[in-house]
């Protein structure tokens, strides 16, 4: 049983004002939330797996305010109430004092990266491991040649536990199947149903199960950047290479042959965090057409290879 298969419970029947009364103090670690708003833990022996990681994305900003109202009043979009429990890897023992930073796009699929910290917030789980926040349903944005499904980013930290960077997705989203991250088999536990609780109001439950291994557990997608699938591939005359930079850094995007020898340098220089696209026209550094064969597009951040993607040139 995955962590989102617990009986439906959340704050169904609570209006927006009641929800805020219950959750507004969570940002400073309130211990005042009634547990019956959140349901009951998984039964022992019901199966358990730690919440899996996901791509950080280029729009994380540290220092978001302690608030459970991630979307301020007047923010356009469908109101969304997320609540859950932070649990040990037995899916039963609650963990208090877990710091949960969230950030997301607005309804028009645009991220705010200013120090206004719009659609960003930090909450802490209470003594029963409970957390909650109010936001809006984010939009789906075009990333390269395909849309990313609607999602909310989470950065979860607690002393003594490995940090977790992940994303929350929503059932029924048509873009999940083609998304490089949401389509990962272990992302299924992070695709949750949403329930209607009134006009333009939805709620959902997302329990966060922390890994029990003390120490550092690197995010499998990295925190420096990411290289998306090349399109078209195989290529004939030209292909597009989409990449993300998660922090300001020296970035290189280059084409190599199958043995790692440089063929063409596409990007070299300082880049701010963000999404980028470049193209390769199938030529080498001297301007000659490269022969048909297998090549690699390579993303380097501060001199370290982050990821490579195979390109077949016809």
Q: Any idea which residues carry the catalytic annotation?
A: 111, 141, 148, 151, 153
- Sequence-ordered alpha helix ranges (H) in the chain: 16-23
Produce one character per residue of 73-89: b if its CB has 16 or more CB atoms within 10 Å, e if not. eebebbbbbbbbbbbbb
Q: Which residues contact 46 (CB under 8 A, 6 or more apart)?
A: 1, 91
CA distances to 2, 51, 223 from 159, rounded to whole Å, are 25, 17, 20
Cβ-contact 246, 237 below 8 angstroms? no
Kind plus residue range of the DSSP H or E element containing 49: none
Q: What sign does the dihedral 76-149-2-66 (CA atoms) show?
A: negative
For the chain, report the end-to-end CA distance as a whole number of angstroms.
46
234: preceding bond cis by omega (within 30 degrees)? yes
DSSP 23: H
For residues 73 and 17, give the distance between their C-alpha atoms in angstroms, rounded to a whole number: 11
Instruction: Compute the distance between CA of residue 65 and CA of residue 121 in angstroms, rounded to an integer.
Output: 5
How far is CA 101 from its chain centroid?
11
> Tokens representing 47?
């199966």
Integer CA distances (angstroms), 97 to 22, 132, 228, in order = 17, 13, 35
Tokens of 208: 């966060």
> Using CA atoms, how far apart are residues 298 and 262, in angstroms rounded to an integer?
10
72 SS3 class: coil
């Amino acid at each position: 049983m995955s962590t989102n298969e617990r009986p439906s419970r959340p704050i169904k029947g609570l209006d927006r004002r009641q929800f805020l009364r219950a959750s507004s103090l969570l940002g400073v670690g309130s211990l005042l939330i009634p547990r019956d708003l959140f349901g009951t833990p998984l039964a022992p022996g019901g199966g358990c797996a730690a919440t899996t990681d996901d791509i950080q994305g280029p729009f994380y900003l540290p220092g978001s305010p302690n608030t459970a109202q991630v979307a301020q009043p007047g923010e356009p979009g469908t109101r969304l109430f997320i609540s859950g429990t932070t649990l040990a890897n037995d899916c039963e023992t609650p963990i208090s004092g877990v710091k949960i930073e969230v950030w997301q796009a607005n309804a028009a699929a645009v991220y705010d990266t200013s120090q206004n910290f719009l659609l960003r917030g930090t909450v802490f789980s209470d003594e029963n491991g409970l957390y909650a926040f109010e936001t809006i349903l984010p939009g789906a944005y075009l990333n390269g040649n395909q849309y990313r499904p609607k999602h909310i980013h989470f950065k979860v930290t607690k002393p003594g536990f490995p940090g977790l960077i992940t994303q929350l997705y929503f059932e029924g989203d048509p873009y999940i199947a083609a998304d490089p991250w949401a389509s990962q088999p272990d992302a299924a536990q992070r695709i949750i149903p949403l329930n209607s609780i009134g006009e333009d109001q939805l709620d959902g439950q997302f329990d966060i199960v922390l890994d029990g291994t003390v120490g550092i557990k690197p995010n499998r997608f990295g925190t420096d950047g990411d290289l998306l699938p090349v399109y078209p591939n195989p290529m004939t005359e030209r292909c597009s290479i989409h990449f993300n930079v998660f922090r300001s850094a020296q970035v290189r995007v280059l084409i190599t042959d199958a043995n790692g020898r440089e063929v063409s340098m596409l990007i070299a220089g300082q880049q701010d965090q963000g999404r980028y696209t470049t193209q390769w026209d199938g030529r080498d550094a001297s301007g000659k057409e490269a022969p048909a064969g297998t090549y690699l597009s390579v993303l380097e951040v501060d001199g370290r290879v982050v990821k490579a993607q195979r390109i077949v040139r016809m």
